[in-house]
């Protein structure tokens, strides 16, 4: 794992030397295109504009980072057809304030990208139209604070339009911390397949502050496939899970959902197909529903097992559920179905109102301990330290 910016700089840019033509950051782009093994491109103290890196495929990993001790304030950074690049350590005195994106905009797909340990201020991270399967893109340990959009669908961490052939797409968002204001914390759409959201901390997306804009911890805006939500910590959000317009093959497991006081629904599924909701812990004063999407497609093949619920999710009145429906081995405050489910109040290792992810693990002797289908505890089953799971082991960078 790359921590800090201890690598020796091969070349150092200043705001006046990054280049402006034919695109912003043209000199940085040329340096990435010509890079050899061990190249480290650094940025000195200063305020930078946009940097576009495109059609750049060095033979081995190239690192972009601040110079040691520098306060490098970057604007918008975009990768368009880029491989074998790590961007890291823009935190502390440095920041990427304009946001970061990986977009296929005529220069081909991007592969083997690491974007780690960066501070983006209030800007987001977007992967769009990248149609490679197993693209090996890791976005990890980044911080976004007071994320805010002006309208429409725009999560802080988003993957859209990765294409039918890119399944799985090989895109992982891991251990990022997003503190929101208006918008969504994480999201997929447009047929994105196999995106993994692991151990992220998502907070502060409250509907009363959003007006007409949806505010969800996670939202699939339609067509997301085989998405995995594993070990995420959703807290002080109005809604944790919004699947409004058709999603398929999602696995939602080991997440904590602790909603804000104004929550309308902690979860809504519309037209969701083959959804597995397993080993999650939900603390909320609201309920959860599933049913048809805006086009009238029914939800189908839904499984709820090993979860802690305030109440079991229910079918929207007048709407349909097709295929199989399994609900068992859950612990509910009231209204649990299933021969192996419990009704009662759990005790958490972090007390009555835990303040960390790990605090929501059941305390020894609580109702629901050792009572799941796999003989572990109902609810989250991974013992972790701190507010979320431990930092990831980075993906292996390979040359294509």
pLDDT tens digit string along 222-254?
788 999 999 999 999 988 998 887 788 999 999
Burial string for 136-148 (b: 16+ CB within 10 Å, else e) reads bbbbbbbbbbebb
Give which of 118, 114, 115, 12 is closest to 67, Cα–Cα.
Answer: 12
Residue 215 has pLDDT above 90, yes or no: no
| Whole-angstrom distance, CA of residue 215 vs CA of residue 217 | 7
Write down the pLDDT at residue 290.
80
Q: What is the mean pLDDT of the chain?
A: 88
SS3 content of the chain, % helix, strand, coil (to 5): 5, 40, 55
Q: Is the Cβ–Cβ distance between 224 and 192 less than 8 Å?
A: yes
Split at pLDDT 50, 70, 90, the class of 2 is very low
The whole-number pLDDT of residue 248 equals 87
Residue 144 and residue 185 in contact, taking contact as beta carbons nearer than 8 Å: no
What is the biggest distance separating any 2 CA atoms in the chain, rounded to whole angstroms?
69
Residue range 111-166, pLDDT digits in tens: 999 999 999 999 999 999 999 999 999 999 999 998 988 666 678 999 987 766 78
Residue count (the chain): 400
Q: Is 121 buried (19+), middle (13-18) or exposed (0-12) by CB count in 10 A? A: middle
CB atoms near residue 394 (< 10 Å): 16
Name the helix (H) or strand (E) containing 28.
Answer: helix 26-33
Percent of the chain with pLDDT over 90: 66
Structure tokens belonging to residue 113: 């990208």
Residue 289's pLDDT is what? 83
DSSP for 127-151? EES---TT--EEEES-EEEEEE-SS
The string of DSSP codes covering 152-193 is SS-EEEEEE---TT-SS--EEEES-EEEEEESEEEEEETT-B
Pairing of strands 46-47, 72-74: parallel
For the segment 260-274, what is each residue's pLDDT rounded down to a tens digit?
A: 776 678 888 887 889
pLDDT digits (tens, 9 = 90+) for 32-59: 999 999 999 999 999 999 999 999 999 9
Are 299 and 321 spatial neighbours (Cβ–Cβ below 8 Å)?
yes
pTM of the model: 0.93
Check pLDDT > 90 for residue 68.
yes
Q: What is the pLDDT at residue 263?
A: 64
Nearest to 133 by CA among 95, 164, 102, 92: 164
Average pLDDT over residues 163-174: 86
Distance in angstroms (rounded) separating the CA atoms of residues 127 and 161: 9
In angstroms, rounded to a whole number, what is the distance separating the alpha carbons of residues 61 and 84?
5
Q: Is the pLDDT of residue 211 over 80?
A: no
The kind and range of the H/E element at 308 are strand 308-311
More confident: 96 or 248: 96
pLDDT given for residue 315 in this prediction: 80
Range 292-313 average pLDDT: 86
> Who's near 355: CB < 8 A, 6+ residues apart?
none
The answer, yes or no, to whether residue 394 has pLDDT greater than 60, is no
Q: Residues 79, 130, 228, 337: is their CA dihedral positive or negative?
A: positive
Q: How far apart are CA 216 and CA 88, in angstroms?
A: 28
Does residue 388 carry a pLDDT above 80?
A: no
Q: What is the mean pLDDT of residues 54-70?
A: 97
pLDDT for 267: 86
User: Where along the chain do its domains lie?
Assistant: 1-119, 122-391
Nearest to 77 by CA among 59, 60, 61, 65: 65
Instruction: Please tell me what DSSP assigns to residue 352.
Output: S
Phi and psi torsions of 216, nearest 5°: -130, 150
């Amino acid at each position: 794992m790359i921590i800090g910016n201890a690598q020796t700089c091969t070349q150092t840019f200043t705001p006046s030397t990054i280049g402006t033509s034919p695109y912003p950051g043209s000199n940085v782009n040329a340096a990435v295109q010509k890079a050899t093994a061990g190249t480290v491109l650094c940025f000195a103290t200063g305020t930078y504009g946009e940097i576009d890196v495109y059609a750049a495929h060095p033979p081995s990993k190239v690192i972009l980072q601040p110079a040691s001790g520098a306060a490098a304030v970057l604007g918008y950074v975009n990768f368009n057809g880029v491989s074998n690049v790590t961007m890291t350590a823009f935190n502390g005195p440095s920041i990427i304030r304009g946001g970061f994106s990986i977009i296929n905009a005529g220069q081909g797909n991007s592969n083997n990208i690491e974007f780690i340990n960066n501070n983006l201020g209030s800007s987001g991270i977007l992967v769009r139209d990248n149609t490679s399967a197993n693209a090996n893109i890791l976005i990890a340990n980044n911080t976004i604070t007071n994320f805010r959009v002006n309208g429409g669908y725009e999560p802080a961490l988003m993957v859209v339009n990765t294409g039918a052939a890119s399944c799985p797409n090989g895109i992982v968002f891991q251990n990022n911390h997003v503190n929101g204001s208006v918008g969504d914390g994480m999201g997929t759409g447009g047929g994105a397949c196999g995106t993994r959201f692991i151990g992220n901390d998502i907070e502060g997306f409250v509907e009363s502050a959003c007006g007409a804009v949806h505010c969800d911890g996670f939202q699939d805006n339609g067509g997301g496939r085989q998405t995995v939500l594993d070990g995420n910590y959703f807290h002080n959000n109005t809604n944790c899970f919004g699947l409004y317009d058709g999603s398929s093959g999602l696995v939602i497991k080991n997440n904590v959902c602790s909603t804000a006081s104004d929550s309308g629904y902690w979860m809504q599924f519309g037209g969701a197909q083959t959804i597995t909701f397993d080993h999650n812990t939900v603390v909320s004063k609201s309920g959860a529903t599933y049913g048809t999407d805006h086009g009238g497609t029914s939800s189908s093949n839904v499984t709820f097992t090993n979860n802690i619920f305030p109440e079991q999710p229910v079918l929207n009145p007048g709407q349909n559920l097709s295929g199989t429906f399994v609900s068992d081995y859950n612990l509910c405050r009231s209204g649990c179905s299933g021969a192996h489910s419990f009704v009662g109040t759990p005790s958490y290792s972090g007390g009555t109102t835990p303040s960390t992810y790990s605090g929501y693990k059941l305390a020894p002797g609580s109702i629901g301990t050792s009572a799941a289908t796999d003989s572990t505890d109902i609810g989250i089953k991974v013992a972790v330290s701190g507010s979320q799971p431990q930092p990831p082991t980075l993906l292996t960078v390979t040359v294509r």
